[in-house]
């Protein structure tokens, strides 16, 4: 009876989700299916939730609580973090805390806006009525997505403008002693990769402002640390939203391959 090989990593793997409404669309939670897939391969994998519409500082504090539970449950002294989208910024903020700096074995980001996203600027620059409507919608969705704390969509959005992000997260701000690396994404306009339908308009807007992107994050904004490669997948498909059977990207295979890389590094 052939079974998939068990491929445990030295340290548990925690998948950190990002900002926004995609948090509502995943059955079982964002990246839950990917975490369960990794567990089926023998990896201690977790995909907890924090408020998807809050500031980086508040989210980082919430992640710290979840990671403390992971360490207690597994008996490990370090963790491997995979930060998707703004989850990568949350992880970078957390890594500045001396309490956590030595507990992070690796910090690898996936389509994280290390230099911000012009989409945030675009929304904030709309006429007041449109801007207020968009932010109110985010707050509404945020309350539905996460009941543990009220959302702060406008403050979180302002942090994601290129100017704000660059001032808080300089490119050279790496974590000593940890593997720091990144993947970027691209799809839609300027590529041959199809785009998740709700992201078509943001993709075109962002293309005009910053070039190639995955519908949310400019490709060039996603680089930090070692550059591991470009994912030909939009922002939704990167976390497992399979909207068309013809797309070739497989989120399960991606995270499994990442754990293979962790294991080869002794992490």
User: Tell me: the pLDDT tens digits for 145-203?
Assistant: 666 677 777 788 888 899 999 889 988 889 889 999 999 999 999 999 999 888 999 99
Phi, psi (degrees; rounded to nearest 5) at 213: -160, 175
pLDDT at 53: 82
Indicate the pLDDT class of residue 267, thresholds 50, 70 and 90.
Answer: very high
| pLDDT tens digit sequence for 195-234 | 988 899 999 999 999 999 999 999 999 999 999 999 999 9
Mean pLDDT of the chain: 88
Question: What is the mean predicted confidence (pLDDT) over 68-82?
Answer: 96
- Residue by residue, DSSP assigns the chain as ---PPP---SS-EEEE--SSGGGGSSTTSTTHHHHHHHHTTT--EE-----TTS-HHHHHHHHHHHHHHHHHHH--S-EEEEEETHHHHHHHHHHTSHHHHTTEEEEEEES--TT--HHHHHHHTS-HHHHHHHHHHHHHHHHHH--SS---HHHHHHHTSHHHHHHHS-TT---TTSEEEEEEEEBSTTSSS---GGGHHHHHHHHHHHSSBSSSSBGGGG--SEEEEEEES-TTGGGT----TT----HHHHHHHHHHHHHHTT-
Of the two residues 257 and 147, the one the predictor is more confident about is: 257
Question: In this structure, what CATH number is given to the domain that contains residue 220?
Answer: 3.40.50.1820
* Domain assignment of residue 6, yes or no: no
Q: Residue 91: which domain range?
A: 13-261
pLDDT at 72: 96
Indicate the pLDDT class of residue 139, thresholds 50, 70 and 90.
Answer: low
Contact status, residue 79 vs residue 71, Cβ threshold 8 Å: yes
Please say if the pLDDT value at position 111 is more than 70.
yes
The count of other CB atoms within 10 Å of the CB of residue 73 is 11
168 burial level (CB within 10 Å; 0-12, 13-18, 19+): middle
Residue 51: partners with Cβ closer than 8 Å, 6 or more residues away: 58, 59, 62, 142, 146, 148, 149, 151
Of the two residues 171 and 117, the one the predictor is more confident about is: 117
Q: Which helix (H) or strand (E) holds 168?
A: helix 162-168
Phi, psi (degrees; rounded to nearest 5) at 39: -60, -35
Of the two residues 51 and 25, the one the predictor is more confident about is: 51
pLDDT at 25: 54
* Domain assignment of residue 226, yes or no: yes
* Domain assignment of residue 4, yes or no: no
Q: How far is CA 231 from the centre of its chain?
A: 13
* Domain assignment of residue 5, yes or no: no
Please say if the pLDDT value at position 26 is more than 60.
no
Question: What is the mean predicted confidence (pLDDT) over 52-79?
Answer: 93
Please say if the pLDDT value at position 21 is more than 60.
no
- With 0.75 as the threshold, say if the pTM is over it: yes
Percent with pLDDT over 90 in the chain: 61
The total domain count for the chain is 1
pLDDT at 137: 67
* Domain assignment of residue 8, yes or no: no
pLDDT at 258: 96
* Domain assignment of residue 57, yes or no: yes
* Domain assignment of residue 183, yes or no: yes
pLDDT at 247: 64
* Domain assignment of residue 169, yes or no: yes
At residue 26's C-alpha, the angle toward residues 4 and 87, to 5°, is 90
Please say if the pLDDT value at position 246 is more than 60.
no
């Amino acid at each position: 009876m052939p079974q998939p090989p068990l491929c445990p990593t030295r340290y548990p793997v925690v998948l950190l989700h990002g900002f926004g409404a995609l948090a509502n669309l995943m059955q079982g939670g964002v990246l839950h299916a990917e975490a369960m897939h990794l567990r089926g391969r023998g990896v201690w994998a977790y995909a907890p939730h924090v408020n998807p519409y809050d500031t980086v500082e508040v989210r980082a504090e919430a992640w710290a609580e979840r990671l403390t539970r992971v360490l207690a449950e597994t008996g490990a002294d370090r963790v491997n973090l995979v930060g998707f989208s703004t989850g990568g910024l949350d992880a970078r903020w957390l890594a500045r805390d001396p309490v956590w700096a030595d507990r992070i074995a690796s910090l690898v980001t996936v389509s994280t806006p290390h230099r911000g996203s012009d989409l945030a600027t675009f929304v904030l620059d709309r006429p007041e009525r449109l801007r207020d409507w968009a932010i109110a919608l985010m707050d509404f969705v945020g309350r539905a997505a996460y009941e543990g704390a009220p959302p702060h969509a406008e403050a979180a959005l302002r942090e994601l403008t290129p100017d704000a992000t660059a001032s808080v997260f300089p490119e050279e701000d790496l974590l000593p002693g940890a593997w720091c690396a990144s993947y970027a994404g691209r799809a839609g306009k300027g590529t041959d990769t199809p785009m998740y339908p709700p992201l078509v308009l943001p993709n075109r807007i962002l293309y005009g402002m910053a070039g190639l992107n995955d519908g949310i994050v400019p490709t060039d904004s996603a680089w930090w640390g070692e550059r591991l490669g470009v994912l030909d997948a939009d922002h939704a498909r990167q976390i497992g939203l399979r909207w068309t059977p013809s797309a070739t990207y497989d989120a399960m295979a991606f995270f499994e391959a990442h754990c293979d890389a962790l294991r080869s590094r002794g992490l």
